[in-house]
């Protein structure tokens, strides 16, 4: 065995990773708590992107714990390690994931340890639902990564054609036929409940995104908005969340101390980042930017 592999195994064995059961309204979520070797300097939660399991963030979460922080990852209801039924039988919606599950997971983070600061890292879906959360007064720092209020007309060719197929042809047909979004068959990596797809589709095909649902499916936004520092990170090669969609994030956090970054992979000597790859091992040069807010 190579010396580097042996060193990595030894380092991993010294860190504690704890499975956490998280009660959420109508569901129980499964998470992983990555503990540092000593007392944690802060507590960090990762709210994942749509259809991205918590395992995808494991290397990043372990690295965060190596920097001295407690890091919690988890899967949304009826998905990943939290899946308790086939997605065909699930009534979960994107609002359930972004409101009930995200808030429940953050509350679970608070119970794990009493640390001086609490930091929310939101990847895509993980960032645009925060203004509705009731526990914003307990959040000290926020980072959103590849997160935008995406409208289908924002996209450029040739990616535009893929979006049309997903929202207006293959996605609706496959979801109606199967009773769930067959993400694996469509090359999206994971199957998801139909309710998640239909609400996702509704928002991304509307120029007002989820505004029409506020006061109905969605509650009113928190009357005491988040006022702390927030770093909004986008990438020049992200076709899924282009600049126009990320621009729409700033009004959601108009009372916050906004730091805006549009990162070019080439500036970090990276080949590509796109929408999903900021948290992968090959792009770890980006991780300090994600972890540090100010």
pLDDT tens across 217-269, in order?
999 999 999 999 999 999 999 999 999 999 999 999 999 999 999 999 999 99
Q: Are 70 and 33 in contact (CB under 8 A)?
A: yes
Buried-exposed string 86-96: b where 16+ CB fall within 10 A, e elsewhere? ebeebebbbbb
Q: What is the mean pLDDT of the chain?
A: 94
Q: Which two tokens stand for residue 70?
A: 């407690």
4 pLDDT above the threshold of 60: no
Q: Which two tokens stand for residue 31?
A: 């998470």
pLDDT tens per residue, range 10-27: 455 567 999 999 999 999
What count of residues does the chain have? 294
User: What region does 256 belong to: left with phi over 0, alpha with psi -120 to 50, or beta?
Assistant: beta
Q: Is the pTM of this model over 0.85?
A: yes
* Gap between the Cα atoms of 243 and 248, Å rounded: 9
Surface-to-core class of residue 210, CB atoms within 10 Å of its CB (0-12 exposed, 13-18 middle, 19+ buried): buried
């Amino acid at each position: 065995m190579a010396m580097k592999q042996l060193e990595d195994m030894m380092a991993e064995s010294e860190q504690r990773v704890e499975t956490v059961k998280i009660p959420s309204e109508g569901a129980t979520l499964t998470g992983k708590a990555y503990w540092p070797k000593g007392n944690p300097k802060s507590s960090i939660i990762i709210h994942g992107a749509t259809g991205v399991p918590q395992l995808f963030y494991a290397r990043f979460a372990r690295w965060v714990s190596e920097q001295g922080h407690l890091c919690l990852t988890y899967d949304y209801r009826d998905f990943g390690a939290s899946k308790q039924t086939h997605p065909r039988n699930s009534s979960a919606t994107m609002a359930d994931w972004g409101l009930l599950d995200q808030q429940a997971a953050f509350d679970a983070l608070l119970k794990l340890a009493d640390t001086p600061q609490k930091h929310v890292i939101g990847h895509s879906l993980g960032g645009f639902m925060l203004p509705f959360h009731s526990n914003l007064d307990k959040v000290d720092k926020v980072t959103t990564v590849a997160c935008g209020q995406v409208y289908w007309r924002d996209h450029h060719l040739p990616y535009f054609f893929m979006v049309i197929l997903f929202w207006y042809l293959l996605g609706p047909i496959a979801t109606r036929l199967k009773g769930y979004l067959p993400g694996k068959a469509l090359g999206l990596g994971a199957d998801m409940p139909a309710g998640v797809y239909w609400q996702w589709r509704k928002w991304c095909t509307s120029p007002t995104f989820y505004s029409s649902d506020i006061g109905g499916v969605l509650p009113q936004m928190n009357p005491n908005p988040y006022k702390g520092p927030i770093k909004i990170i986008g990438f020049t090669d992200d076709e899924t969340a282009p600049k126009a969609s990320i621009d729409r994030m700033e009004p959601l956090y108009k009372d916050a101390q906004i730091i805006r970054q549009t990162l070019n992979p080439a500036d970090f000597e990276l080949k590509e980042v796109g929408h999903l790859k900021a948290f992968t091992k090959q792009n770890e040069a980006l991780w300090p930017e994600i972890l540090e807010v100010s």
